Amino acid sequence: MFPLSSCFAAEPDPDLAKEIEIGKRAVAEIEKQWPITVDPAVTSKLEMIASRLEPYMQRRINWEIRLVKTEALNAFCLPGGFIFFTTGIIDALKTDSELAAVMAHEMIHADRKHSLRMAAESNKVTLGALAVMLLSGGAAAPIVLAQVAQVAITSAYTMELETEADKLGLEALIQSGYSPTGMITLFEHFMAEEYKQPIVEYGIYMNHPGTSKRLDAAVKILHEKNIPIERKYSLGLLRTSIQEGANDIVLKVDGVTVLSGRKTPEIRSAINKTREAIDKYLQLELAPYELHIVRGALYIGNNFTSGNVEGITKPDDVRKNLMKAINSARAQYPMSKFFK
């Protein structure tokens, strides 16, 4: 559990105490059957991500993080703010932006009472009556409690609620400063999993609505907001590094040598400027014609990147090396439509 943000503007919810009690009872049942594990480093990272997203939720909830030791790719959130991540999904996702995309989606489900609304509708009662049913200790309580947990664990939400969690989760990503492209690459990961395992029966990528439709909806929102899709940040790709030997300096992108030169102050300065341009402008979505030579110098779009300096790799060869790095990175994610 972590403290509420001081900038949280939402009003207290008088029904939240009941939701927390319902959530605690569901957690107790889940923890009897699932292999809960402890990893302070991972938990601290997830708590940090949740604390950044929390100000953009509608209600005041003290979120709690738990880890389940399984290779399954899943995450879910129970009423009252109990968030579960599997170690499988932690290992599969590349960056904090992708983890934040999962976190935001699950937080919205609890923030907007999605699993409770589903259970209330299924049992044809109001939310208030559902809470009484769950907390009364009557014969129906364990059955309905299992139903609430099952909806959360398997993402068996209606299309309307799943779409709401995607849309509001994406808004929270944008507002909190995480790369919203994390949600794009998250869906692309799930599509790749669906191709490997066409029948997916549970988990956060349950095919309801179809992942491709969810991806298209997220892309549309970003386009409407004029937010560029830049996958390298959410995939952790096209990362630059500089290595200095006894007599030379080498600039690499994802381990691919892009340019090198003699170890002099002038060449070090030129290579650092090239690195800055690559970090800022080189994207996986870059069309080949946007990486071009103008009057002997290399440009990314309209941005100068590398000049024809004596003692370092020529701009035309730098371009070829950069295309090699881009193509290598793209090949790792065949589900991505980089020019869409």
144-173 pLDDT, tens per residue?
778 878 888 887 788 899 999 999 999 999
Arithmetic mean of pLDDT over the chain: 88
- Shared domain check, 286 and 189: no
- Shared domain check, 182 and 86: yes
- Shared domain check, 211 and 256: no
Reported as type and span, the H/E element at residue 253 is strand 248-253
- Shared domain check, 105 and 248: no
Domain-located, residue 65: yes
What is the pLDDT, as a whole number, of residue 209? Answer: 54
Domain-located, residue 316: yes
Long-range pairs of 306-315 with CB within 8 A, sequence gap ≥ 24:
306/259, 306/270, 306/274, 306/277, 307/270, 309/261, 309/266, 309/267, 309/270, 311/261, 311/262, 311/264, 311/267, 312/259, 312/260, 312/261, 312/262, 312/267, 312/270, 312/271, 313/258, 313/259, 313/260, 313/261
In three-state secondary structure terms, 312 is strand
What is the pLDDT, as a whole number, of residue 340? Answer: 60
Please report the DSSP string for 155-222 in residue order: T---HHHHHHHHHHHHHHHHHHTS-THHHHHHHHHHHHHHHHSS---SSTT-SSS-HHHHHHHHHHHH
The domain in which residue 186 lies consists of 16-234
- Shared domain check, 264 and 277: yes
Domain tally, the chain: 2
- Shared domain check, 296 and 249: yes
Instruction: Pick the last residue of a domain from 234, 261, 279.
Output: 234
Whether the pLDDT of residue 314 is over 80: the answer is: yes
Domain-located, residue 109: yes
- Helices and strands, counts by H and E, the chain: 13, 10
Whether the pLDDT of residue 118 is over 90: the answer is: no
- Shared domain check, 269 and 197: no
What is the pLDDT, as a whole number, of residue 327? Answer: 95
Residue 339: band (very low, low, confident or very high) from pLDDT cuts 50, 70, 90: low
134-145 pLDDT, tens per residue?
777 766 777 777
Domain-located, residue 167: yes
- Shared domain check, 250 and 114: no
Residue 280: band (very low, low, confident or very high) from pLDDT cuts 50, 70, 90: very high
Instruction: Pick the last residue of a domain from 234, 253, 277.
Output: 234
Domain-located, residue 4: no
58-87 pLDDT, tens per residue?
998 999 999 999 998 899 999 999 999 999
Domain-located, residue 337: no
Domain-located, residue 176: yes
- Shared domain check, 295 and 201: no
Domain-located, residue 222: yes
- Shared domain check, 200 and 172: yes
- Shared domain check, 243 and 294: yes
- Shared domain check, 106 and 185: yes
Instruction: Pick the last residue of a domain from 234, 249, 282.
Output: 234
**pTM, full prediction:** 0.87
